[in-house]
Structure 1
Amino acid sequence: MRLIRKEQSDRLSFMIGRLSRGVETSVHCFLKTGVSWMQEGRRIIKLNTKTADSKTASEKLPKPIRYSFILKELSENPYRQFRLQYFADKWNTSKSTISEDLAEIERYLQTAREGKLLTTAGAAGGVMFQPYFGPEDLQRLKEELCRRLQDTDRIIVGDLLYMNDLFYDPNLLEKMSKGILSYYDLSTIDYVATIETKGIPLATRIAGLANKPLVIIRKRTVLTEGTSLYKNYTDSSSGQIKTLTVSLKAVHRGSRVLFVDDFMRAGGTANAVKDLLKELDTELAGIAVVMVTGAPRQRAIDNYQALVEYDGVRDGKIRITPR
């Protein structure tokens, strides 16, 4: 447990700035006139540092502390909608007070460019947190990917590039996921899908950030998947006949799916995924990949997003540029 000491506990930017960046998110304590407030799991505890006793906080939290706990919960669950009554019940206050708190938090987020709050009116409405990942963040991500991929030690058979380590780097994986999500309106997406196996780490993190279910499209049947739909297609690169399969229980009919993958060349696999989902009465909401090749220019699909473009190896140098 870590105690964060601050002479003036109403310094909102200090507290919620740390929380929105994920600093000490498991347990938080804030000190004010000999009293600390701690969140441990879903419980909020009031500690009297002078008498060393503690009790569950049934009284109202001080406003700055309430701001911090609200933003902590929102930022740890991006794109998840919370009803105002949830916060009101949790912290023993009114919905109008929570609404005022959210307005204050939104002003801070706009100033600090940490994200924004999306609100929905009505009985079923609520609020959700959308992390900020602007054009300048996206450009820095693309440039970082280019720098890392320009290492000639990455060249493997067929002038392809070794990329697995990028998807096993948690910090870079987080940025790639946020970068891809910045292209889409998540309110129009119901699922995130990928093909086994290289795209799974990326798709899993994107699904987690977007708070959407993950669908794994397989290249062979698996008994535990139950009844599945199959799709044979011709691979654009090799000319071989390949198969894709997805469980009928994995996707609800009429839903919209974002397909993500690590790499795309001619787009034959992505097009096969589109056809497979169509057989399930499911619409493809978008296609996003980390890297796309410069050739061929005519692909099996047109509407897609990519972070970087790879133009092969020339004169011993890897040609890769931001997309």
Structure 2
Amino acid sequence: MRRSERLIGLTKHLLDRPNQAVSLSGVQGLLNAAKSSLSEDVAFIRQALEGLEQGTIQTISGAAGGVRYIPRLSASERTAFAADMVSRLEDSSRMLAGGFIYMSDILGDPMVIDNVGRLFAEAYSDSHVNVVVTVETKGIPLAVATAHYLNCPLAIVRREHRVTDGSVVSVHYVSGSNRRIQSMSISKRAMPDFARALVVDDFMKAGATCKAVVHLLAEFQATVVGTAVFAATTEPKEKLVADYKALFEVSDLEEGKVPIVLPVMQSDAVLQDKGEMRANP
């Protein structure tokens, strides 16, 4: 196999397995190459990915050894994605009664889902997440993409217990939208031992649903490393969930009005700057 072919094969193998440890010994037979040659290839691929701002290849030390692809979005991709989302969301026809915004078409776009998954995974790449948790149904595509890029399983919180879930743990909570007492449950088998969970959702107003999920996960003695949402409202300012990150903040959510959409989670620097602006208006 020529080196150009080997580089393409190795790159695809790594990109198909984000945040997953890959043993070079394990791919020697697949690419018909010596381990020393593969190590040189990894260095070349790392340099190319970092130059394109598409992530990096991390070397794993220890007896097992290996490498891991850490995905990223480039600055230009972030900017283009943010501009596209703002353009699509700032549309008065999207406004629904009760201060909600129609986003089903956007959250059904495969490219949007993929970009959101990469951004969420990048934001929590150092949090040692071993399960992504979401509430059915609109948050599921975003959670699937996030779980893929974090290389961990997905656990879905149900509003109604299904017999196929097996044994479940349930909690009751007060809905933030209609102030009704509702219930949610999650299968015991869906949660790993010593869980470090990332909660993913599509939209947050007061944060009642996400808070209920945190309480539900507490029944498993799980550590919730954070909550990631596609969009959050600017009001109320104080959410019921303190530790959350949103890609976009929206305001002026009234029927017939054009909502105001502000990109938030474009980089750690943006998050820090925004926090400083809030603390020092």
Shorter-chain TM band? 0.7 to 0.9
Task: Give the aligned partner of residue 204 of structure 1.
Answer: 144
**Partner of residue 317 from structure 1, selected from 253, 258, 269:** 258
Tell me how far apart the structure 1 counterparts of residues 236 and 253 of structure 2 sit (CA, whole Å).
15
**Partner of residue 31 from structure 2, selected from 88, 91, 96:** 91
What aligned pairs does 1:1-323 form with structure 2 within 5 A after superposition?
A: 61-185=1-125, 188-313=128-253, 316-323=257-264
* Larger radius of gyration between Structure 1 and Structure 2: 1
Give the residue type in structure 2 aligned to 1:171. M
Determine if contact 1:291/1:310 at 8 Å carries over to the other structure.
yes
SS in 2 for 1:153: helix
Shift in Å, 1:143: 2.7
Bigger proportion of residues as strand = 1
Q: Which runs of 5+ in 2 are unaligned?
A: 265-281
Give the residue type in structure 1 aligned to 2:116. M
Tell me how far apart the structure 2 counterparts of residues 65 and 306 of structure 1 sit (CA, whole Å).
40
Shift in Å, 1:186: 5.2
Shift in Å, 1:135: 4.8
Tell me how far apart the structure 1 counterparts of residues 193 and 71 of structure 2 sit (CA, whole Å).
29
Shift in Å, 1:187: 5.9
1:206-242 CA distance string (max 9 Å, x none): 2222221111001111101111001111223322111
Determine if contact 1:141/1:179 at 8 Å carries over to the other structure.
no
Tell me how far apart the structure 2 counterparts of residues 168 and 205 of structure 1 sit (CA, whole Å).
12
Give the residue type in structure 2 aligned to 1:320. V
Determine if contact 2:133/2:154 at 8 Å carries over to the other structure.
yes
Shift in Å, 1:173: 1.6
Across the aligned residues of Structure 1 and Structure 2, the Cα RMSD in angstroms comes to 1.7
Shift in Å, 1:184: 1.1
SS in 2 for 1:281: coil
Shift in Å, 1:157: 1.6
Give the residue type in structure 1 aligned to 2:259. I
Determine if contact 2:19/2:149 at 8 Å carries over to the other structure.
yes
TM-score by length of 2: 0.88
Determine if contact 1:227/1:248 at 8 Å carries over to the other structure.
yes
Tell me how far apart the structure 1 counterparts of residues 9 and 248 of structure 2 sit (CA, whole Å).
38
Tell me how far apart the structure 2 counterparts of residues 249 and 313 of structure 1 sit (CA, whole Å).
39
Which has the bigger relative contact order, CA under 8 A and spacing at least 6?
2
Tell me how far apart the structure 2 counterparts of residues 279 and 103 of structure 1 sit (CA, whole Å).
44
Aligned residue pair count? 263
SS in 1 for 2:190: coil
> Which one is further off, 145-154 or 236-245?
236-245
Give the residue type in structure 2 aligned to 1:183. A
1:31-67 CA distance string (max 9 Å, x none): xxxxxxxxxxxxxxxxxxxxxxxxxxxxxx2222211
Task: Give the aligned partner of residue 12 of structure 1.
Answer: none
Bigger proportion of residues as helix = 2
Q: Matched residues, percent identical?
A: 32
Task: Give the aligned partner of residue 269 of structure 2.
Answer: none
TM-score by length of 1: 0.77
